[in-house]
Amino acid sequence: MNPPGRRWTIAELNAMDGAEFTRIVGPVYEHSPWIAEATWARRPFASLDALHRALSDTVANAGEARQLALLRAHPDLVGRAAQAGTLTASSSNEQASAGLDQLTAGEIAQFQKYNAAYRARFDFPFILCARQNKKEAILEKFPMRLERSRVEEIQTALDEVAKIARLRLEDLLQG
């Protein structure tokens, strides 16, 4: 596990063997270290942007089955894992940054209702970059996204995963 607060340079990541790179970069994608593992061979990365692009390309070229597995690896916002305190540290911090750890009972019920409807319609959790939103905005986006097609929503969810990964990479890397 990456020591809390430890930040790496792009040169240090480029010098890592595949196992170490996967251990450090793998958590950028929720429970999906295969993305870092598959991207490692594309080193050296010139910058954080180049690394993010390479990781995003791995996801884009993974095929629908692996993309859906990636989406399904994400927790529901204010879902069972959040209520049980079993989110990853990154997910917990991200949900807290949106105020999702400070909800009323009514707001929790609203999130759970939307989560259930979304999962029933799309068969993966509603994914939104919580660090770029607040609870009110998130609740407003649920009904709109529930109206989209499955193809549109898969792409939207993957775009949100890319935003989450970018922010997590920024947390991981120096400068």
Domain boundaries, the chain: 75-161
Tens-place pLDDT, residues 66-113: 999 999 999 988 888 787 778 888 998 998 899 999 999 999 999 999
- In the chain, helix, strand, coil percent, each to 5? 65, 0, 30
> Given this model, what pLDDT does residue 80 score?
80
Measured torsion, CA atoms of residues 159, 164, 165, 169, in degrees rounded to the nearest 10:
140
Active site residue 74: yes
Cβ–Cβ under 8 Å, residues 84 and 76: no
Average pLDDT rounded to a whole number, residues 6-20: 97
Question: Under CATH, which number does the domain 75-161 receive?
Answer: 1.10.3330.10
Alpha helices in 46-149 (DSSP H): 48-60, 64-72, 80-84, 89-97, 105-122, 135-146
Distance CA(163)–CA(175), nearest Å, equals 18
Average pLDDT rounded to a whole number, residues 105-122: 96
Give the end-to-end CA distance of the chain in Å, rounded to a whole number: 21
Task: Retrieve residue 2's tokens.
Answer: 């990456």
Residue 156: other Cβ atoms inside 10 A: 16
Instruction: State which amino acid sits at residue 154.
Output: I
Q: Is the pLDDT confidence value at 2 over 80?
A: no
> Given this model, what pLDDT does residue 83 score?
79
Q: Which of 52, 74, 166, 168 is catalytic?
A: 74
Cβ–Cβ under 8 Å, residues 62 and 42: no
Distance CA(47)–CA(29), nearest Å, equals 18
> Given this model, what pLDDT does residue 138 score?
96
Average pLDDT rounded to a whole number, residues 164-172: 97
